[in-house]
Amino acid sequence: MAAGPLPWLLTHGTAALLFAALVAGGLGVPIPEDLVLLSLGILAHQDVLPIALAVAVAITGVLCGDTALFITAQRLGPALYAHPRMKKLLPPERRERLAQLYARHGGRCIFVGRFLSVLRGAVFIMAAVQGMRLRDFLLWDALALCLSAPVVVALGYAFSHSVDAVAKGAARAEHLLVLATTAALLAVGGLRRLRTRRLAQRPR
């Protein structure tokens, strides 16, 4: 078995502990989210947890962590950017790019950002500071989670015999989900623009 946090999670993991790990990870504690989700799948395969409970813990744990981060950023507002850690995560040029993306695409940025582990926290923080409503954030984040979390848990379940293969598979799955969801969002946006143009060209 590979060295690192995954074996520890498999040895000591319970539904409550893994839920807490997901919430803490959402708040910035350096706990790899994918490893916790993989652990849930592996433990389900080992009959330590029912698979339905593993998926429920995955979705609710991540969503609670994301929500805590969003509410914290919402309350702190632009003052959050003065924090040394935020200066590194969100330098001015990145803030500007994310602000432009949010202005153009709104909640869809949350949906795509959920699949981008490197930029996920930055996207969520920017949306909160830019004034996104909590209910809109929850909607888009939950939609993305209903796709991503079950996939990673299922990878842990299906390939529990090989931790290394599971971890690599999770990375590939994340990339494929990013490509698929981005393509779908672009297609929907293109169809909407085409429909708007056709409506505008109709004689009145």
Are the CB atoms for 24 and 118 separated by under 8 Å? no
Dump pLDDT digits (tens) for 77-114: 888 888 787 778 788 888 888 888 888 888 888 998 88
Of 78, 72, 18, 5, which Cα lies nearest the Cα of 44?
A: 18
- Beta strands of 79-171 (E only): which ranges? none
Instruction: Tell whether pTM > 0.85.
Output: no
Are the CB atoms for 156 and 39 separated by under 8 Å? yes
- The CA distance from 39 to 82, in Å, is 36
Amino acid at 103: A
Dump pLDDT digits (tens) for 114-164: 888 778 888 898 889 888 999 999 999 999 999 889 988 998 888 776 655
Residues with Cβ within 8 Å of 13's Cβ and at least 6 positions away in sequence, in order, are 39, 40, 43, 48
> Phi-psi region for residue 131, left (φ > 0), alpha (ψ -120 to 50) or beta?
left
